[in-house]
Amino acid sequence: MSKKKQKDPGRGIAQLLQTLSKKDTASETTRGQKRNRDGTPVVTIPKVEAVREDVFPQKGTGKLMKPEKTATAPTIRDRPRRASPLAKQSSSKPISKLPNPLPGRKTSHKPDEQLKESLQPATPLSRRQDALLHTRKTLPIWPHADSIRSALRKNNILVLTGETGSGKSTQVPQFLASEPWCTKCIAITQPRRVAAISLARRVAEEMGSHFGRQSPAAKVGYCVRFDNATGPNTKIKFLTEGMLLQETLRDPTLQQYSAVVVDEVHERSVNVDLILGFLKNLVAGVEQGQKRKHPLKVVVMSATADVEALVRLFNNDSNSLDEKGSEAAETDDTDSEGSWSGISSDAESDHKDQSKKSKSQSKSNSKSKSKTSQVATCFVEGRQYPVKTTYLPEPTQDWVESALIRIFQINHREPLPGDILVFLTGQDTIESLEKLVNDYAEGQAKDVPKLLCLPLFAALPQHAQQLVFNPTPPRTRKVILATNIAETSVTVPGVRFVIDCGKSKIKQFRNRLGLETLLSKPISKSAAIQRQGRAGREAPGQCYRLYTEESYNDFDERTTPEILRCDLSHAILTMKARGVDEVVNFPFLDRPHREALEQALLQLLNLGCMSDTGSITELGLKVAKLPLTPALGRVLVEAARPERDCLSEAIDIISALSVEDVFLNLVTEERKEEAEAARRELYRREGDHMTLLVTVQRYAEEQSDRKAWCQRHFVSHRAMQNVMNIRKQLHSQSLSLLPPSSSSSSSSLTAHQPPSTLTETKAASLLRCLLRGFIANTARLMPDGSYKTLTGSQTVAIHPSSVLFGRKTEGIVFTEFVYTGKAWARGVSACQLDWMGEVVGELMGS
DNA sequence: GAGCACTGC
């Protein structure tokens, strides 16, 4: 409030503009998105023609594009149907329309029916197919079709690097579908649900096929959690990475597939790393005579991936490389030279170098094998307009201010159209910059474009997120203030200017402390390039980096893969359940640190998921099958024990813990107080978990109008719908957890229950189950009023979002332990010290 | 007194 200068907008603008002219000395370089592997620019490719949105289906547009499918239909139905003119961001304004994942067709609000309508009578499938064929032929990947096919006839593995807009995700599966070896289904993995669904829809159109559940004849389908839209004739199946991993539990050799295409590998999720390792083992196993009738073809696709590392992963016997160091063996490779570089095009020389290197390594290190699989590589150029990049001449302390200056500079100098996308670190900086921009915008001259400031971050309510997709009003420029949600998950249309603060909040697990940190860190070069590229999607653009070129040069080449900075217990349990006995020998693209592995193994041992010989226990196998973290899975298994007798309630709590915040986050003091009062009937003094239980129970019991119930209690309806999906899934999966004798309890799971009351014994039972999974996350009250963890003697504070905030109780158990400037316990329940003692005793005894 | 982004038979 001390910023008095904002109160004089006219003067503020003058000052800003003064600052602008000083900053004009910023060093400028021009770079297109096309670049060498070290991030240095390459001569920009000539542009063929304007890149139209419908030529390149936008993938990964995040949660903003809700799939038009039944599972999520309620969310869509909730939205106001009537169009409204774009107005100020009064957050409850109805939105005019949903983003349309497939331009050329109206987005339907009644998914299935309208989709069918629009597909069938209006445009016969084949006519649409013919129309699309024309645009398909203009994709950069199109000329590579034959070489991709022939590479996979000769080899089982292809590493395909294709930059944004190359068309690889939609075309590669179609290139392969008619191949003689392709007798079964092709799987294509995606990191996000929306991407899987919208790609499937697009490919179905291009093939002139029905899609998903439209018809049993559909050749293209998708499979994501809660929504399996595949049929008996599905030939091309888009699925999330997690889904494919689940399938490997039932079908370890992936018999149902002739090929697996792993897309977006450069994002390096833990799941993709596991999939690559499993596929590597599978391909190697098949070559050694493991039971698979046909070889499995694997295509690894990535935007900027380290081709060399991928080739090495599939080419070497990394186990022997790491552990055995066996003698060099001569393999007959006289005829393999051709297949190595056979189809690389633009980057041929580059890749030849790599393959030689990899090959010599494989020769000297790997064990003798009659048939080492060869890896083909292919590079496909992308399509991207050039982006002119400007650095600051000197580092800045206050990049919120620097961003503010740049926004007004752009607005004064650059003609419309051209929206601005600003990358910031989090909600707090977004909101303070939003306020500053709005204050200064008041004082702008009449002849410059108006500014429309739109925040964009994951915690923002859906309807507020949707605003970024609305067309920009006349004589107005949109300024989107975003977190890195806009880096990969959401593609904002109309952006020609990017302002990049060079930082983002990164989650990192601290093994020794057992907590995760969420701190603002410099981004990597590849992330900076990704952000920059967001300015060149539709036209040549500009990128302003709020740091110096020297700082950029100091950035890491790429973002540390998630597997090197997360809690590995889930990943290891996943591996153990799929028969990987020696985790240290698993073919990791990046090998996690020994300490992280040890910590995770210890955690699994404590949960009873593993024996002390390192093999998975029966209990561990049960936990591995659940769509939960090992700790939450352990809680569920505990709750199914007859003496605990609280499975149904545990499922309610765990479901609520599995979604983002159930309780809406209110902005003004007034609304917060209102919410407090409305929610009071849900709050339980035992803590957040019992409060969640009561919330889920009340919601589930509400038969007339659940949406209104949510509004009354300031609860997120969207989150609760998700809770109900998860709850249903967990119910059906946990029937097998119950002892066979307890048929009464299992029927009570499914039967309609009378309004529930939470007794004290039930609450105590639930808390003891929670403790069994989260004994590492317990703390006790110190004489000075602080809490210290039982195991690490770490000071921890109850998070302000907790119902126990400000309360004192002898002991607490919490389901989240995060450091953000301070160690916070989130999801907190009060518990007795002797309950903790019981669990510790059990651990010591066993 | 505070919350980067994804995902799951």
Contacts of A163 (CB under 8 A, 6+ apart): A33, A34, A303, A304, A380, A381, A382, A383, A384
Q: How far apart are CA A645 and CA A654, in angstroms?
A: 15
Strands of A209-329, DSSP E: 220-224, 227-229, 236-240, 257-262, 297-302
pLDDT in the model for residue A1: 39
Measure, in angstroms, how far nucleotide B3 C1' is from residue A427 CA: 8
Is pLDDT of A96 > 60?
no
Strand A476-482 versus strand A419-423 pairing type: parallel
The average pLDDT across A356-370 equals 36
Task: Provide, in whole angstroms, the distance separating residue A473's CA from nucleotide B9's C1'.
Answer: 46
- Closest nucleotide to A195, Cα to C1': B6
Are residues A419 and A511 both part of a single domain?
yes
Most confident of A215-229, A273-287, A411-425: A411-425
Q: What integer is the mean pLDDT of A484-508?
A: 90
- Is residue A698 pLDDT above 60, yes or no? yes
Q: Is residue A563 part of a domain?
A: no
Of A669 and A190, more confident: A190
| Separation of A797 CA and B9 C1' (Å) | 38
- The 10s digit of each residue's pLDDT in A450-461 is 999 999 988 887
Largest Cα separation within chain A, whole Å, is 80
CA closest to C1' of B5 belongs to A485
Does residue A543 have a pLDDT over 90?
Answer: yes
Å between A242 CA and B7 C1'?
A: 6
Does position A631 have pLDDT exceeding 60, yes or no?
yes
- In this structure, is residue A184 part of a structural domain? yes
Indicate if A286 and A226 belong to the same structural domain.
yes
Confidence band, pLDDT 50/70/90 cuts, at residue A176: very high
**Which nucleotide minimizes the distance between its C1' and the CA of A573?**
B8
Protein-to-nucleotide distance from the CA of A667 to the C1' of B2, whole angstroms:
12
Nearest protein residue to nucleotide B9 (CA to C1' distance) is A246
A472 falls within a domain: yes
User: What is the pLDDT, as a whole number, of residue A462?
Assistant: 78
Nucleotide nearest to A628 (CA to C1'): B8
- Give yes or no for residue A190 having a pLDDT over 80: yes
Measured in angstroms, what separates residue A48's CA from nucleotide B5's C1'? Answer: 34
Q: Which of A186-195, A296-305, A469-478, A664-673 bottoms out in mean pLDDT, i.e. has the lowest?
A: A664-673
Are A316 and A393 in a shared domain? no
CB A197 within 8 A of CB A66: no
What tokens appear for A765 in the block? 């039972």
Query: Residues A388-416: what's their mean pLDDT?
Result: 92
Of the candidates A334, A336, A346, the residue with the CA atom closest to the CA atom of residue A315: A336
- Assign A436 to helix, strand or coil: helix
Q: Give the pLDDT band (50/70/90) at residue A495.
A: very high
Q: Is residue A95 part of a domain?
A: no
Distances (CA, A) of A142 to A73, A83, A167: 35, 39, 8
A343: domain CATH number is: 3.40.50.300
Over residues A706-729, the pLDDT tens digits come to 999 999 999 999 899 999 999 999
Is A98 within the bounds of a domain? no
How distant is C1' of B4 from CA of A664, in Å?
19
- In angstroms, the CA of A627 and the C1' of B7 are apart by 10
The boundaries of the domain holding residue A778 are: 774-846
Question: pLDDT band for position A319 (50/70/90)?
Answer: very low
With contact defined as beta carbons under 8 Å apart, do A827 and A816 qualify? yes
Pick from A800, A802, A775: nearest CA to A789: A775
DSSP secondary structure of A585-611? GS--SSPPPHHHHHHHHHHHHHHTSB-
- Distance B4 C1' – A672 CA (angstroms): 24
Q: What's the pLDDT score for residue A288? A: 65
Whether the predicted pLDDT of A117 surpasses 90: no
Task: State the pLDDT at residue A601.
Answer: 93
Query: In terms of pLDDT, which residue wins out, A127 or A642?
Result: A642
Judged against a pLDDT cut of 70, whether residue A415 lies above it is answered with: yes
Q: Residues A744, A794: one domain?
A: no
A118 has pLDDT over 70: no
- For B2, nearest residue by CA–C1' is A800
Say if residue A375 is in the same domain as residue A406: no
Same domain (yes/no): A9, A121: no
Considering the domain boundaries, does residue A84 fall inside one? no
- pLDDT of residue A754 exceeding 80, the answer is no
Q: How far apart are CA A516 and CA A565, in angstroms?
A: 9
Q: Which nucleotide is nearest to A490 (CA to C1')?
A: B5
Do A736 and A840 share a domain, yes or no?
no
Amino acid A537: pLDDT: 87
Mean pLDDT of A342-366: 36
Pick the closest to residue A72 from A483, A462, A632 (CA basis).
Answer: A462
In a domain, A613, yes or no: no
Q: Which residue is nearest nucleotide B1, judged by alpha carbon to C1' distance?
A: A800
Boundary-marking domain end, from A554, A578, A600: A554
Q: Would you say residue A435 has pLDDT above 50?
A: yes
Shared domain check, A528 and A405 = yes
| Closest nucleotide to A676 by C1' from CA | B1
Cis peptide leading into A417, omega within 30 of 0? yes
Position with higher pLDDT, A390 vs A304: A390
What does A358-369 look like in DSSP terms, one character per residue? HHHHHHHHSPP-
Task: Assess whether A36 and A128 both reside in one domain.
Answer: no
Are residues A505 and A483 both part of a single domain?
yes
Instruction: Identify the pLDDT of residue A215.
Output: 81
Nucleotide nearest A625 (Cα, C1'): B9
Average pLDDT over residues A72-79: 30
The integer distance in angstroms from the CA atom of A701 to the C1' atom of B9 is 27
CA dihedral sign of residues A625, A629, A634, A639? negative
pLDDT at A293: 74
- Closest nt to residue A516, judged CA to C1': B4
Q: What is the pLDDT of residue A16?
A: 56
- Give the confidence band of A14 by pLDDT, cuts at 50, 70, 90: low
Nearest nucleotide from residue A247 CA, by C1' atom: B9
Final residue of a structural domain among A530, A554, A578: A554
User: Quick one: pLDDT at residue A260?
Assistant: 96
* Listed range (A39-43, A636-640, A754-758, A793-797) with the worst mean pLDDT: A39-43
Positions of chain B reached by protein Cβ under 7 A: 1-9
Task: Give the count of domains, chain A.
Answer: 4
Looking at residue A437, what is its pLDDT?
Answer: 93
Give the pLDDT band (50/70/90) at residue A753: low
Q: What is the mean pLDDT of residues A58-83?
A: 32
Rounded to 10°, the helix A427-441/A399-413 angle is 40
Model confidence at A382, pLDDT cuts 50, 70, 90, reads confident
Length of chain A as a residue count = 846
Q: What is the pLDDT of residue A755?
A: 62
Quote the mean pLDDT of chain A.
78
Q: Bin A793: left if φ > 0, else alpha if -120 < ψ < 50, else beta.
A: left
Which three-class secondary structure state does DSSP give residue A30?
Answer: strand
Spatial contact of A577 and A625, defined as CB atoms under 8 Å apart: yes
What is the pLDDT at residue A82?
31
Q: How far is the CA of A743 from the C1' of B4 (A)?
A: 45
Alpha-carbon distance A64 to A84, whole Å? Answer: 18
Residue where a domain terminates, one of A539, A554, A569: A554
* Residue A425, pLDDT above cutoff 50: yes
Backbone dihedral angles phi then psi of residue A605, each to the nearest 5 degrees: -65, -45
pLDDT surpassing 80 at residue A77: no
Kindly tell me if the per-residue pLDDT of A630 is higher than 60. Answer: yes
Would you state the structure tokens that stand for residue A689, as one six-digit string? 């978990």
Q: Nearest nucleotide, C1' to the C-alpha of A574? A: B8
Nucleotide nearest residue A486, measured CA to C1': B5
**DSSP-assigned states of every residue in A753-804:** -PPP---HHHHHHHHHHHHHH-TTSEEEE-TTS-EEETTT--EEEE-TTSTT
- The pLDDT value recorded for residue A490 is 83
pLDDT tens digit sequence for A723-736: 999 999 999 998 88
Q: Is the pLDDT of residue A146 over 80?
A: yes
Q: List CB contacts of A93: < 8 A, sequence separation 6 or more.
A: A84, A87, A463
Q: Are residues A376 and A393 in the same domain?
A: no
Q: Which amino acid is residue A445, in one-letter code?
A: A
pLDDT interval class at A445 (50, 70, 90):
confident
Q: Mean pLDDT, to the nearest integer, of A510-525?
A: 88
Confidence of residue A214 (pLDDT cuts 50, 70, 90): confident
Contact partners, residue A124, CB within 8 Å, separation at least 6: none
Mean pLDDT of A8-26: 48
Residues A301, A164 within the same domain: yes
A599 CA to B5 C1' distance (Å): 25
- Residue A13's pLDDT is what? 55
Whole-number Å distance between alpha carbons of A594 and A322: 14
Does residue A363 carry a pLDDT above 90?
Answer: no
Percent of chain A with pLDDT over 70: 76
Nearest protein residue by Cα to C1' of nucleotide B4: A505
Rounded mean pLDDT, A689-703: 94
